[in-house]
Amino acid sequence: MLLPLGAAAQTDSLYLDATVFTAPRPDAVAVPSAGGIKVELSRLKTLPSILGNADPLSYAHYLPSMSAQTELDAGIHIQGNDSQHNLVSAGGVPIYGASHLLGLFSVFNAAHYSQMDYRTWAREANRLGGAIDMTLPRELTGKTSGEFQLGLMAAQGSITAPVGSKAGVRLSARRSFMNLLYGKFLTMNGVAIKYGFTDLNLTGVWNPGSGDSITADFYLGGDNAKGGYGAFSMDADATWKNAMGALHWKHSFGSSQLQQSVYYTSYHLDVNAFLNQTEARVPSYIKTAGYKARFTRGALSAGAESALHKVQPQSPSIIDGSIDLGDMSEPVQKGWESTMWGRYRLAAGPFSAEAQLKGSLFRSSEGQWMNGLDPDIVLGWNFYRAGQVALRLGTQHQYLFRTGMSDIGLPTEFWMLAGRYGDAQTASSAGLSYKLDFGAYTFAADAYYRLLGNQIEYRGSFMDIATGTYSLGKVLLHGNGRAYGVNLSLSKVSGAFTGWIAYAWGRSLRSFPEYSGECPASHERIHELDAVASWDLGRWTLGATLVAASGTPYTAPEYLYLMSQRAVCWWGPHNGSRLPAYVRADVSVNYWFRPQRSGLNFSIYNVTGSENQLFKRLSYNREESTFTYEGVSAGIRFMPSVSYFCKF
């Protein structure tokens, strides 16, 4: 997918005899690359800043290849893939929990990183979907500098300081205080949610010689949420945290370059639910230690990665109950994953071809060996003034899975390894893309078709845990799937008025032995329209975003009955019903005291006050002694904010 995000970009012209080629300069917000885009994070302030925060992952959701981001849903769904199919990383190191609650903020402080590299497929990793990587700071030498932003929801800052003439460090921090002023907005069906998060980043760069660069990178993040599930008089609190440390060495010699990294990354979750004087604890975690290397020389590139995983799948336990509900714990998994790949690129006039072969080897916790051999080829043709066309064919394997009882941004999604709970997942994909630049505009179109093997879906709930009937093996559905669709976009990349409008049509279907025929995946949005606009008026910058998308599927009950004082549902077709369409518009205004240095941001989230349904749940009316199956909204309606930002 080739799509500039939009910026006040200039153009450069290259004259070859009588032919003139014009293209956006590389200092634009986003530079098209093969299969994706590169976003210059330092220029995100030229785009709308919603709730005082121009978050990189939030803007990625407006691209036509990715499904809409909604309240309490931070999932990343690229071209029909599940969120677990994508690789999200910082400096090439996986980040397993990339978004904070509500999806309004990602764990990535934009001031700390240089770029966001977005691709619609993860060619070098064992993932079926796309890849988003945050590029670490390039140069930290020179004078001391920094950024600071104070808003009504969060405060964040970043400072860069040189250490001698060959080294430097960048320290960034962010802390939320959402409940201080927004407590009445953070509700779900009348139940208040108390929530806060913290992010800390530290990156050091040392350039000992002209051909060497050594980078140490660290990240710590933590979230805490408390709320309730009023229909069943259940209260819950949850904590989840990230930790990451990595050491990178880049060595250049002649026309060759070697990059090596050692890293450790982890994600811990702990959910406690209180129901009828019974406390259920649901912990899970994933820890990964690995080494990776990448070599490039001219048209040839190759790489290898080896990683050890230690995973605790969701493992419920009853802490203090009057009845022994049995053992529901799950064993810790340990696995080893190794990958090697090689790629070569050829170019002859307007024609280009790039071929890659990747081999993977995995050993499960049960001692089972799995392997995959994945070819990947991209054929391109440049018609110059008539545009560019690319055809991509390839396969992928994946040995690390994520699932859970909720996709609404709560930490109830967990990781598990292939083996005990399923074989390696597979994908066979074909994609055709077209891109045309004409003046200040870019038009892009993509079509894709993907066959998915060994897919899983979770169908459990907290009620299973509270009643002692939970078993991970019994709540997982195993089947296959397919995804196909078309993405269209038109963007304006230069001038005072910039932005884009995009439309996506797509199907993401699954088939399970338990159900007849195909059923929609839980994240499927058949139609989606996205728009982003920014208007630079000197001291004033106006911005707006719009998303209008089909509702996601859910399984509706046909009727229910009472058995031993418990409500038992008789469910209809799996994912056979749909929520109403999701519509949201946001607006923002920046006033600059000093151009690109300091100013104020005024923004309104959900300016139309739309009450979008996020999911359906069974509700009990105590006064009337009746059950209803009703839609639940986040309670985030017409949320204004103001923030001050400065750069020194």
What domains can be seen in the chain, in order of their start residue?
11-647 (2.40.170.20)
In this prediction, residue 3 carries a pLDDT of: 43
CA angle 299, 302, 303 (to 5 degrees): 150
Q: Which of 616, 551, 612 is nearest to 586 (CA)?
A: 612
Look at residue 232 in the predicted model and tell me its pLDDT. Answer: 42
Closest CA to 483 of 446, 529, 458, 435: 446
Are the C-beta atoms of residues 264 and 276 closer than 8 Å to each other?
Answer: no
pLDDT given at position 76? 81
3-class DSSP string for 368-436: CEEEEEEEEEEEEEECHHHCEEEEEEEEEEECEEEEECCCCCCCCEEEEECECCECCEEEEEEEEEEEE
DSSP string for residues in 146-157 = EEEEEESSEEEE
Nearby residues of 394 by Cβ (< 8 Å), 6 or more positions away: 121, 123, 356, 374, 375, 376, 377, 428, 429
On whether the CB atoms of residues 400 and 370 are closer than 8 A, the answer is no
Half-sphere exposure in the Cβ direction for 48 (13 Å, CA): 25
Average pLDDT along the chain, 648 residues, taken 10 residues at a time? 40 40 46 65 70 76 78 76 91 90 78 88 92 88 86 86 92 82 58 80 93 95 74 66 96 93 95 72 93 96 97 83 67 96 95 96 95 96 92 96 69 86 94 90 92 89 69 88 93 84 93 89 91 88 90 80 64 85 90 86 86 72 65 72 87
Under DSSP, the state recorded for 166 is: S
Q: What is the pLDDT of residue 392?
A: 95
Task: Name residue, tokens 């400072």.
Answer: 159
Contact 240, 222 (CB under 8 A): yes
CA 296-302-308 angle, to 5 degrees, is 125
Q: Which two tokens stand for residue 198?
A: 């913290």
Predicted local confidence at residue 552, as pLDDT: 87
Angle at 46 between CA 44 and CA 48, to 5 degrees: 85
- For residue 541, the SS3 value is strand
Gap between the Cα atoms of 421 and 400, Å rounded: 11
Q: What distances in angstroms separate CA 101 from CA 105, 198, 223, 240, 316, one per listed residue? A: 8, 12, 8, 10, 22
CB 78 within 8 A of CB 65: yes
pLDDT of residue 196: 82
Entry field: residues in the chain: 648
Beta-carbon count within 10 A of 374 CB: 20
List phi, psi (to 5°) of 123: -70, -40
CB 604 within 8 A of CB 610: no
Q: In a 3-state reduction of DSSP, which class is residue 28?
A: coil
* CA-CA-CA-CA torsion sign (587, 490, 430, 298): negative
What is the pLDDT, as a whole number, of residue 31? 55
The Cα–Cα gap between 189 and 629 comes to 13
Provide the 10 A C-beta neighbour count for residue 132.
26
